[in-house]
Amino acid sequence: MNKNSKVLALKYRPTTFDNLIGQDVVAETIRNSIKNNRSPNAYLFTGIRGVGKTTIARIVAKSLNCSNGTDQMCSKELCENCEQISNSNHIDVLEMDAASKTGVDDVRDLIEFSRYGPTSAKFKIFIIDEVHMLSKQAFNALLKTLEEPPEYLKFIFATTEIKKIPITVISRCQRFDLSRVKSDELFKFVKEVKNKENGKINDDALKLIVKISEGSVRDALSLLDRALLNQNGKSELDLKEAQKIFGYFDKSFIIKLFSFLFSGDEQEVVKTYRSIYAQGIEPKVFLNDFLEILYYIKNISSIKSDGTNFLLNDENFAEIKSISKKTSPEILLLFWQFTIKTLNELEIVSNQNLSMEMFLIRLLYLKDENIKDNLDNIDLKYSKNENNLYETQKVEVDDNENKIQNKNKTINQIKNFSQEEISKPEKKIEAELTKIKIVNFDELIDLCNKKKELKLKYELETNVSLVSFSDQKIEISFNENLDKNFVKDLSFKLNEWTGQRWIIAFSKEVGKLSKKDEKYLDKTKIIENTKKEQIYKKILETLPDAELVDVKLGKMNND
């Protein structure tokens, strides 16, 4: 502990392995390796911010160089080596920030410095923080020294982005993944610090600190620092006051919002959202929090409320459990998909606040009897069963066939695959007025031509083979060139033109030849028959190199 520091994150920074929290396995492994003189050439610590990467690096440096040895490592009265390492001014322990020294020249200077043995300590140690910031050339320059360093040299690397480090470097290090500190363990630690600082903060406010910190000890201490500075001799800091200090949005408002949504109370839904917006919550943040609560409602049965989970307090847990019992999973999944789509489209809307209100009002109509009228632009597939309920259909895949091999071999059969319900009222009215009836495949192609849907016409003629065509159901096979949106586009247009839902099924059976192949075959037959005619033979006598490539049939003149 740094008694001279006024910042809690520094003041209560661990100085020995015994002071560490949440990293017991890592601490024990490193301590045993040092005791048995089997410490690696290089350590690599990775994890999120504030879980102890740099702290452990310094503790390892002190363990290796402590004058009293690892077992008797200094804790209160520090030896000369430990004191200098703690103050970052030991001549044999060099701390380098790779974010500011990323080049190959910096690493070369480091390697040059490593040629000389330690001055006063047992080991010369290089601690490189945010090591992933080094350039590719810098990593390459480090490889040889890293693999076979002198006996007195140790490397300790720390990073938050392990994926950016070359695998050749990782393989030369002993890697330790530092986990997030568990909520109950972090809560206990923060409460101890609060008591030492004589702070007046209740447990609910401390739990909020733990929740916001997301397993980061440094973040938790920084938040506690803010809470203590805002007291100024006031009474005990409670949860509501802590939410104001940290600018944290109380998600109980969203839980109430869900209650109003499922009860169909539009007035209360809008009123609740406006009170949320008045607190300064941005629409994008609101949608992410909305998704979080939606996740809890769907999976509340698998979430424990045993005092170690601070994501939800007991009151919120009970409310969500009550909502979950009254709501079907299908509705929740539909809400999830609809919210994700709204989140993706948020950037193109100029007035996001009004867009959020309309988003919530539309959700009111995504309930049981209204689902089929509100699936516009949602990428979910539904089919209607005998009880007029909409349910997701399963896709059956043949595992023996993974790739489309050619245009005559089709992919796996998809049974009972139906398309989205079209919800735009004007389209349905138009279909009712026109009452187009399509009785065969040729009529469908002709209709695509008349409606100027040339892309659909091309797909039907070129990449589709008809297996069967019946009332409102088309069974087809297709080749590898079929557009991925073909089924969606065709079903949309069929609904628009006929006012009825069509089922388009994919079959493993090889259907009839495509229209393009039929035309090619007819043309080939005509050419072959023409070559048998006397007129063609006479042409070849005059022009022996001539080749018949096409035949155009015209009307015969009897005159």
**What are φ and ψ of residue 237, in 5° steps?**
-75, 120
Neighbour-count burial of 172, counting CB atoms closer than 10 A to its CB (0-12 exposed, 13-18 middle, 19+ buried): buried
- Whether the CB-CB separation of 366 and 333 falls below 8 Å is answered with no
Residue with tokens 């006397």: 534
Neighbour-count burial of 122, counting CB atoms closer than 10 A to its CB (0-12 exposed, 13-18 middle, 19+ buried): middle
Mark out the alpha helices in 346-373 (DSSP H runs).
352-364
- Sequence spans of domains, the chain: 8-177, 183-246, 252-373, 382-512, 515-554
- Lowest-pLDDT range, 8-12, 217-221, 374-378? 374-378
Query: 165 pLDDT band (50/70/90 cuts)?
Result: very high
- DSSP-derived secondary structure for 31-69: HHHHHTT---SEEEEE-STTSSHHHHHHHHHHHHH-TTT
Query: 390 pLDDT band (50/70/90 cuts)?
Result: very low
CATH topology of domain 183-246: Helicase, Ruva Protein; domain 3 (1.10.8)
The stretch 478-503 carries a mean pLDDT of 82
Which CATH superfamily, name and number, covers 8-177?
A: P-loop containing nucleotide triphosphate hydrolases (3.40.50.300)
The torsion region of residue 388 among left (phi > 0), alpha (psi -120 to 50) and beta comes to: left
pTM value is 0.58
Answer yes or no: is pLDDT of 429 > 70. Answer: no
The pLDDT of residue 78 is 80
The pLDDT of residue 312 is 65
pLDDT in tens, 83-134: 888 888 888 888 888 888 778 888 888 888 888 888 888 899 999 999 999 9
Residue 344 neighbours by CB under 8 Å, 6+ apart: none
Order of strands across the sheet with 42-46?
93-97, 124-129, 153-159, 42-46, 174-177
- Whether the CB-CB separation of 251 and 86 falls below 8 Å is answered with no
The pLDDT of residue 416 is 37
Answer yes or no: is pLDDT of 41 > 70. Answer: yes
Q: How far is CA 242 from CA 200, 250, 377, in A?
A: 12, 11, 41
CA–CA dist 513, 505 (Å, integer): 17
Which H helix or E strand runs over 187? helix 183-196
Answer yes or no: is pLDDT of 508 > 90. Answer: no
Query: 554 pLDDT band (50/70/90 cuts)?
Result: low
Q: What does the radius of gyration of the chain's CA atoms come to, in whole angstroms?
A: 36
The stretch 70-76 carries a mean pLDDT of 72
Which H helix or E strand runs over 268? helix 266-278
Domain 252-373 is in which class?
A: mainly alpha
Through-space distance between the first and last CA atoms of the chain, rounded to whole angstroms: 115
% of the chain with per-residue pLDDT over 90: 13
The pLDDT of residue 171 is 92
- DSSP-derived secondary structure for 502-531: -EEEE-SS--SPPHHHHHHHHHHHHHHHHH
DSSP state, 13? -
Return mean pLDDT, the chain.
Answer: 78
Residue 292 neighbours by CB under 8 Å, 6+ apart: 251
pLDDT in tens, 255-302: 888 888 888 888 899 999 988 888 778 888 888 888 988 888 888 877
Query: 447 pLDDT band (50/70/90 cuts)?
Result: confident
- Lowest-pLDDT range, 188-197, 309-318, 349-358? 309-318
- Lowest-pLDDT range, 23-37, 255-269, 407-421, 457-471? 407-421
| CA of residue 538 relative to chain centroid, distance | 72
Answer yes or no: is pLDDT of 422 > 50. Answer: no
Answer yes or no: is pLDDT of 379 > 80. Answer: no
Q: Do domains 8-177 and 252-373 have the same CATH topology?
A: no
The pLDDT of residue 380 is 40
Answer yes or no: is pLDDT of 399 > 60. Answer: no
